Amino acid sequence: MERREFLGGAAAGVVAGATTVIGKSQAQTNSDTSKPNADGHLHSHEGASPSHSLLPSDPALRVKAIETLLVEKGLVDPAAVDAIIDQFEHNLGPKIGAAVVAKAWADPAFKKALMENAPKALASIGVVGSGAEQVIAVENTDKVHNVVVCTLCSCYPWGVLGLPPAWYKSEAYRSRVVREPRKVLAEFGINLPDQAEVRVWDSNSEMRYLVLPQRPKGTEAMNEAQLAALVSRDSMIGTGIPTV
């Protein structure tokens, strides 16, 4: 079933004033709606597989309901909305950043260019616009681990990572990762040695950071496509580590 058809059917009840109850299981499996627990702890569920039998989240239903009303009043063209959705789902997103990271791993000259002038290096492989011209690359090493945040709002390198996850925009993440980065990283499953330095990069409207994670050992024989498959969105924010 197409996304628009699925959301449209679910939203019909919202427009009509029906009440939709979302089960707890969905909230636990929806990676983009991960949020702090009552104790403020963050949990990332990237890679989870939500059931397609469940209704969309409340925000998705509200957005669809508004869209439906705007279309009915002739204020929005459904084709234009579909084009925007298609752009973010297929032409923008973490796969672009993953390809950049894989190329940096495989091509020392490109890695050097990326670290020295990320916008120029990105443009050389056709990655432009949507904040790509503001990207600064920071590299993880055995001695340094980088993690990115935007403490003021949700500044994010859309051009290489697509839409930011909900937890990235949450107050809990934005405030805690600055105060207690090691503890927050541990909640994402990253337990760093005591001697490793943690650097927190605060994005803003003029600077968007991209973490270049460490290449996993045992990947020397992999090509760029295989390497890109190892790179997650979280690893390019600094809240994940690529593994084989």
Residue 130, both tokens: 């949507």
In the residue annotation, 31 being an active-site residue is answered as: no
Catalytic residue among 34, 57, 130, 150: 150
Q: Which long-range contacts (CB under 8 A, 24 or more apart) does 138-144 make?
A: 138/199, 138/201, 138/209, 138/210, 138/211, 138/212, 139/115, 139/211, 139/212, 140/211, 140/212, 140/213, 140/214, 140/238, 141/214, 142/196, 142/214, 143/195, 143/196, 143/197, 144/196, 144/197, 144/198, 144/199
Q: Please tell me which residue in 155, 203, 232, 235 is annotated as part of the active site.
A: 155
Residue pair 190/239 in contact (Cβ under 8 Å)? The answer is yes
Catalytic residue among 25, 124, 153, 205, which?
A: 153
Angle between helices 3-15 and 78-86 (to 10 degrees): 130
Q: Give yes or no: 153 in active site.
A: yes
Sign of the four-CA dihedral 50, 54, 55, 59:
negative
Q: Could you list the active site residues?
A: 150, 153-155
